[in-house]
Structure formats: C-alpha cells, structure tokens
C-alpha cells in the first residue's frame, strides 16, 4: 500500500501488524486442523462431516490469504516460518488425535469460538480507525460465526442418532 493508504490508518500500525500476524498463525493452524481432521475422521455421519471440514479448511486458507495481503499493504511482513505459528497463535492447535467425528466436531467448535473472540477484539481495535481492516475482519468474523453454527448443527444431528 502506498504512503497515503497507511496515513489514513489511525492506530499503531506495528501493533496492528502484530495482531494480524497472530491471527494469521491461527488461520494456518485452523486450516491444518480441519484438513487433517477430514482425512482421519471416523464414525457416523463421516461423509457429511468430512465435507464440512474440507470446506472450512478452504475458508481458513482464504482468511490466511486475506490477512497476509493486508499485512503487506500495511508495510509489514507476514510470518515467514511455521515455527512462528506456534509462537504467535491465540487459539493454539488441537491435534485430531481422536478421529471420532464427535471429538473432531467438539475440538473445532472450540477453535471457532476462540476465533470469534479474537476477531471481535480485533474489530474493536480498528473500529472507526482503519476502515479497510475493519471491513476485512467483519467478513472473516461472519465466516467464523457460520463455521461455529455449521459444526454445532452437525454435532446436534449426531447426538440425535437413534433417538
Ligand atoms: Fe478463519
Ligand atoms: Fe473458522
Ligand atoms: Mg460451513
């Protein structure tokens, strides 16, 4: 982004870049958690759940792309190494060690709830001060809210099997 584009940002840009990089770490870890979860999933409703996990993985990757682009526009450097994902993440990584569909859903619901909190906080940080980042975060937050809902609906359906 050009000089003027940065001038209209009315927050501490270094602090904003730091927050965006932390979200970038979250998105990569979420991507991998979903992607791997879809590979290992076992149990009732596997096909439906797997489809949703694959779709969410793609959306987390899209979020990573949006965030990296914005960091570069702001004159920052996106995290360059996977080692930094673990160091910077807000929401961590929950390995899909238990491949049961219900366990995977529960892990990923937790992840989405963490993401919702992170983006809510980020929106408050840039509100009225950086319209472009605000707009981007609003879009991402909308997706995370949808993710949580999709997974909770699947978990609910799963819990009703045989009832
Ligand atoms: Fe995301
Ligand atoms: Fe998500
Ligand atoms: Mg979905």
Mean pLDDT rounded to a whole number for the chain = 97
Q: How far is the CA of 76 from the centre of ligand 1 (A)?
A: 20
Which pLDDT tens digit goes with each residue over 85-96?
999 999 999 999
19: its two tokens: 């927050």
Residue 1 has pLDDT above 70, yes or no: no
Residue 150 has pLDDT above 70, yes or no: yes
Supply the pLDDT for residue 97: 98
| Containing structural domain, residue 137 | 3-160
pTM value? Answer: 0.96
Residue 162 has pLDDT above 90, yes or no: no
Domain of 22: which CATH number?
A: 1.20.1260.10
Q: How far is the CA of 30 from the centre of ligand 1 (A)?
A: 7
46: its two tokens: 């596997």
Cα-Cα-Cα-Cα dihedral sign, residues 41, 46, 48, 49: negative
CB proximity list for 57: less than 8 A, separation 6 or greater = 31, 34, 35, 38
Q: How many domains does the chain have?
A: 1
95: its two tokens: 């390995």
Closest among 143, 139, 129 to 74, alpha carbons compared: 129
pLDDT category of residue 51 using cuts at 50, 70 and 90: very high
Mean pLDDT, residues 97-113 taken together? 98
Q: How far is the CA of 146 from the centre of ligand 3 (A)?
A: 6
pLDDT category of residue 105 using cuts at 50, 70 and 90: very high
Q: How far is the CA of 56 from the centre of ligand 3 (A)?
A: 6
Beta strand residue intervals within 74-126, DSSP E: none
Q: How far is the CA of 70 from the centre of ligand 3 (A)?
A: 24
Residue 58 has pLDDT above 70, yes or no: yes
Q: How far is the CA of 6 from the centre of ligand 1 (A)?
A: 25
Supply the pLDDT for residue 2: 77
Mean pLDDT, residues 76-91 taken together? 98
pLDDT category of residue 3 using cuts at 50, 70 and 90: confident
Q: How far is the CA of 162 from the centre of ligand 1 (A)?
A: 33
At CB < 8 A and 24+ separation, what contacts does 151-154 make? 151/52, 151/56, 151/105, 151/108, 151/109, 151/112, 152/109, 154/45, 154/48, 154/49, 154/52, 154/105
Which pLDDT tens digit goes with each residue over 111-146?
999 999 999 999 999 999 999 999 999 999 999 999
Q: How far is the CA of 158 from the centre of ligand 3 (A)?
A: 16
């Amino acid at each position: 982004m050009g000089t003027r584009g940065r001038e209209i940002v009315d927050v501490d840009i270094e602090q904003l870049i730091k927050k965006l990089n932390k979200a970038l770490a979250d998105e990569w870890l979420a991507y991998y958690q979903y992607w791997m979860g879809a590979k290992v999933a076992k149990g009732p409703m596997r096909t439906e759940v797997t489809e949703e996990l694959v779709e969410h993985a793609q959306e987390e990757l899209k979020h990573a792309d949006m965030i990296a682009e914005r960091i570069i526009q702001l004159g920052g450097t996106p995290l360059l190494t996977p080692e930094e994902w673990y160091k910077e993440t807000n929401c961590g990584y929950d390995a899909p060690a238990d491949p049961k569909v219900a366990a995977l859903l529960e892990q990923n619901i937790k992840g989405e709830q963490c993401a919702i909190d992170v983006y809510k906080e980020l929106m408050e940080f840039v509100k009225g001060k950086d319209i472009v980042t605000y707009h981007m975060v609003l879009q991402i937050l909308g997706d995370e809210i949808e993710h949580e809902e999709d997974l909770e609906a699947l978990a609910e359906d799963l819990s009703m099997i045989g009832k």
